[in-house]
């Protein structure tokens, strides 16, 4: 199994290394049976890679599950360190924090880079659709193995929040509280953005229908996909403030007379240089098939699927829920997060909604952790 | 010179064919000298393809210049017919309306598909950067040739609005009124979106550094570029209303178990099917090098370039200006259009700002023409 080494923030912002926390333990849990997936396929004894922080108390009632975002890893101490700051949301002294890498990822859990035991080859593009619920079911098995019956808290932002909410619906008696940041089921615009990213990867000459060579992955396509994602993670005001219409730092000339301009070398605006850099960084740490797998997990999340109505689904919830919307998030607009929270409240669940004011867009839950912590206090 | 035949709306919405107006005349004007470009290059005796509607009166004081949007053509009667409706903005009885295809386009004016007389080969990717001002200077020569000294009105949306405003600054004594819809200089987010589109084209295996064969253009790349543009032309509320999270019409299954899903065939959401269709339609009518050329014209527009300040640039204006912002436009947000209008007003120019309420986003000036007309009455 391929485990990429660079820590991942989930969407984009890496925390300062000095604040990073080392896990108490990091390892693999292998399911002792096949995982039946919502799509009808089976995943043979998948591995969940996970990290824990702090210690499980004797009563086993101090467990917190943190669910990571799209390109995140189990190492929550690296990408969400301020949530562990003294007096913040989590306490290394009192909590036992567990974070589990999503199925489909390239950070240790079974994904497209893993070997399919039925063929002896990596799954690659044949990795099946793993739903958010499938992930939650697998995570529950891991918690079972640790003797954790009930979570004090499950929390996550973006696709991590999808998992957190699904926990409260699927396992209502196992969750006391849930904290769900910047997420609803993907809107049509969100589905559109993922569709664009998928094509960017599949248009790469190295794509090879997903059977690309490990040494020749679809780098340019994955980099472009990341850039498309980045514009949805950040906000127009932030881009204007940081980059405006400046030429790329280092002295490029967007008004260069050379041909019609590549927009890639020598004639970029600053925002283009920034996006190129984000794309380059990303391809060093993430795999294209894994990216596609998790996009699909995200696309297909519908907490009402299989229920007759929102009321039927959400009245199952026993946990107290806190939703957080982000003022400049246009991937998951705050107004939509609020509306989603109200639908759940209308079904009888105890729901609290708060709004984070930030210029950072969707990424604020990672880029402005202190602000998030303040909002939650 | 390659002239694509399908009429173009500018951004995306085609008008019902029944309302389309035929031009009084459609033809070419060839500059009798080289055009010195802002970038320092020279364009050898370029051709401007143009269309006129109505008749020039004896006093030659009833001329209106309409400037088209990114992928538009000179045939304004096809893409903006409701602006000609009785009692609307333009009158075929009283006005002499002229629309000139932009340099760099593939609808008749000199562009990358034209032959460079210095090489005997098409310009292709070597087509030079033509600024908005270069276009306005060339357009002025064409008006000179028709004996038109003064325009009753110059109008346009999007990049057409960039040209309209530039007319009022560059030729202050030649414009009586200007109508500028849904535009400001591109924000960092706008520059980002164009950077993504540029890469989509250049990643296509058929791109060949811009020297692609006419029968093998970078279709997939241009289609993806168009799709990226489409999400910025429309709005999230419109997408939600039209497509929501529905499977693609025709019965595809986004939850299909097959592999991780192509997102292209058989497992698309409705929004993905819509975007794919938009991409396919676009590659039938537009050329990739032309698209890149005009993106760059758009990127580099800075009405202050060469002036010491906004005051110095805009106090040149003698025309009365009307700006229109569109409530759901996120490519050129209404608040930014208003702010831009206020900067110009602060320089002493007579400026009026109006706001169009529409779910259609940037595209509203084409998609909801009747609403635009109503706003202007």
* pLDDT per residue as tens, chain A (377 positions): 333 333 444 555 444 444 679 999 999 999 999 999 999 999 999 999 999 999 999 999 999 999 999 999 999 999 999 999 999 999 999 999 999 999 999 999 999 999 999 999 999 999 999 999 999 999 999 999 999 999 999 999 999 999 999 999 999 999 999 999 999 999 999 999 999 999 999 999 999 999 999 899 999 999 999 999 999 999 999 999 999 999 999 889 999 876 445 555 678 999 999 999 999 999 999 999 999 999 999 999 999 999 999 999 999 999 999 999 999 999 999 999 999 999 999 999 999 999 999 999 999 999 999 999 999 98
Contacts 24+ apart (CB under 8 A), B254-258: B254/A299, B254/A300, B255/A38, B255/A39, B255/A129, B255/A300, B256/A39, B256/A129, B257/A37, B257/A39, B257/A40, B257/A41, B257/A128, B257/A129
| Cα–Cα distance measured from residue B302 to residue B319, given in angstroms and rounded to the nearest whole number | 19
pLDDT of B155 reads 98
Residue of chain B whose alpha carbon sits nearest to that of A186? B245
The mean per-residue pLDDT over the stretch B99-116 comes to 98
- Chain A residues whose CB is inside 8 A of the B189 CB are 231, 236, 239-240, 271
What sign has the CA pseudo-torsion A42, A46, A51, A57? positive
User: Does the beta-carbon distance from B224 to A203 stay under 8 Å?
Assistant: yes
The mean per-residue pLDDT over the stretch B226-244 comes to 98
The mean per-residue pLDDT over the stretch B241-259 comes to 88
Phi, psi values for residue B153, rounded to 5°: -160, 140
Interface check A304 vs B, CB under 8 A:
no
| Cα–Cα distance measured from residue B365 to residue B351, given in angstroms and rounded to the nearest whole number | 19
User: Does the beta-carbon distance from B203 to A194 stay under 8 Å?
Assistant: no
Interface check A253 vs B, CB under 8 A:
no
- Chain A residues whose CB is inside 8 A of the B259 CB are 125-128, 210
| Cα–Cα distance measured from residue B80 to residue B88, given in angstroms and rounded to the nearest whole number | 11
User: Does the beta-carbon distance from B263 to A40 stay under 8 Å?
Assistant: no
Interface check A257 vs B, CB under 8 A:
yes
Residue of chain A whose alpha carbon sits nearest to that of B333? A236
pLDDT of B178 reads 98
The tens digit of pLDDT for each residue in B127-180 reads 999 999 999 999 999 999 999 999 999 999 999 999 999 999 999 999 999 999
**DSSP category for residue B67:** E
The mean per-residue pLDDT over the stretch B51-61 comes to 97
pLDDT classification of B4: cutoffs 50, 70, 90: very low
Q: Which of A298, A196, A344 is nearest to B275 (CA)?
A: A196
pLDDT of B81 reads 96
pLDDT of A20 reads 73
The tens digit of pLDDT for each residue in B355-371 reads 999 999 999 999 999 99
pLDDT of A14 reads 46
| Alpha carbon distances (Å) from A353 to A304, A339, A340 | 20, 10, 10
Catalytic residue, candidates B329, B358, B359, B360: B329
Assess whether B49 carries a catalytic annotation: no
The mean per-residue pLDDT over the stretch B276-304 comes to 97
> Could you tell me how many CB contacts below 8 A there are between chain A and chain B?
211
| Alpha carbon distances (Å) from B121 to B29, B112, B126, B127, B256 | 21, 10, 10, 11, 49
Partners of B179 in the beta sheet? B155, B322
Query: Could you say which residues from 147 to 186 on chain B have a Cβ atom under 8 Å away from some Cβ of chain A?
Result: 185-186
The tens digit of pLDDT for each residue in B174-199 reads 999 999 999 999 999 999 999 999 99
Q: Which of B202, B191, B217, B155 is nearest to B10 (CA)?
A: B155
Catalytic residue, candidates A131, A267, A362, A363: A362
Assess whether B204 carries a catalytic annotation: no
Q: How far is B218 from chain A (nearest CA, A)?
A: 10
Assess whether A232 carries a catalytic annotation: no
- Mean pLDDT taken over chain B: 93
pLDDT of B20 reads 74
pLDDT of B265 reads 64
What is the percentage of chain B residues whose pLDDT exceeds 70? 93
Test mutation, A200, A207, A260, chain B, max B CBs within 10 A:
A260
Q: Which of A4, A70, A14, A13 is nearest to A285 (CA)?
A: A4
Q: Which of B155, B195, B196 is nearest to B72 (CA)?
A: B155
Test mutation, A39, A188, A206, A274, chain B, max B CBs within 10 A:
A188
Partners of B35 in the beta sheet? B43
pLDDT of A8 reads 45
Give the orientation angle of helix A219-233 with respect to helix A188-202, to 10 degrees: 160
User: Does the beta-carbon distance from A220 to B200 stay under 8 Å?
Assistant: no
pLDDT of B3 reads 35
Test mutation, A241, A259, A298, A333, chain B, max B CBs within 10 A:
A259
CB distance A157 to A69 below 8 Å: yes
Q: Max Cα separation, chain A?
A: 71
pLDDT of B139 reads 98
Partners of A115 in the beta sheet? A122
């Amino acid at each position: 199994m391929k485990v990429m080494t660079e820590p991942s923030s989930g969407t984009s912002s890496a925390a300062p290394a000095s604040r990073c926390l080392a896990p108490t333990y990091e390892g693999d849990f292998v399911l002792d049976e096949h995982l039946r997936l919502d799509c009808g396929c089976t995943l043979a004894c998948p591995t969940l890679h996970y990290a824990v922080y702090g210690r499980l108390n004797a009563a086993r009632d101090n467990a917190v599950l943190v669910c990571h975002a799209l390109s995140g890893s189990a190492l929550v101490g690296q990408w969400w360190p301020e949530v562990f700051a003294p007096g913040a949301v989590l306490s290394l002294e009192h909590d036992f924090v567990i974070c589990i890498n999503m199925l489909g990822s390239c950070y240790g859990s079974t994904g497209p880079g893993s070997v399919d035991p039925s063929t002896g080859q990596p799954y690659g593009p044949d990795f099946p659709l793993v739903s958010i619920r499938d992930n939650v079911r697998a995570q529950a098995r891991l918690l079972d193995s640790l003797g954790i019956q009930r979570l004090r808290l499950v929390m996550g932002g973006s696709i991590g929040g999808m998992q957190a909410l699904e926990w409260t619906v699927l396992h209502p008696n196992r969750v006391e509280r849930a904290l769900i940041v910047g997420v609803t089921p993907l809107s049509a615009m969100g589905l559109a953005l993922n569709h664009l990213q998928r094509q960017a990867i599949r248009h790469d000459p190295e794509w090879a229908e997903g059977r690309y060579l490990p040494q020749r992955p679809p780098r340019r396509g994955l980099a472009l996909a990341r850039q498309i994602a980045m514009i949805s993670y950040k906000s127009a005001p932030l881009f204007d403030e940081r980059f405006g219409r400046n030429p790329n730092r280092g002295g490029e000339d967007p008004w260069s007379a050379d041909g019609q301009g590549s927009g890639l070398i020598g004639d970029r605006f600053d925002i283009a240089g920034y996006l190129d850099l984000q794309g380059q960084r990303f391809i060093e740490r993430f795999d294209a098939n894994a990216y596609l797998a998790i996009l699909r997990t995200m696309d297909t999340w519908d907490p009402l699927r299989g229920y007759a109505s929102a009321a039927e689904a959400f009245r199952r919830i026993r946990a107290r829920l806190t939703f957080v919307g982000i003022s400049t998030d246009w991937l998951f607009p705050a107004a939509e997060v609020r509306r989603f929270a109200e639908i759940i409240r209308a079904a009888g669940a105890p729901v609290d909604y708060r709004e984070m004011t930030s210029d950072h867009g969707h990424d604020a839950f990672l880029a402005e952790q202190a602000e998030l912590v303040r909002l939650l206090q």
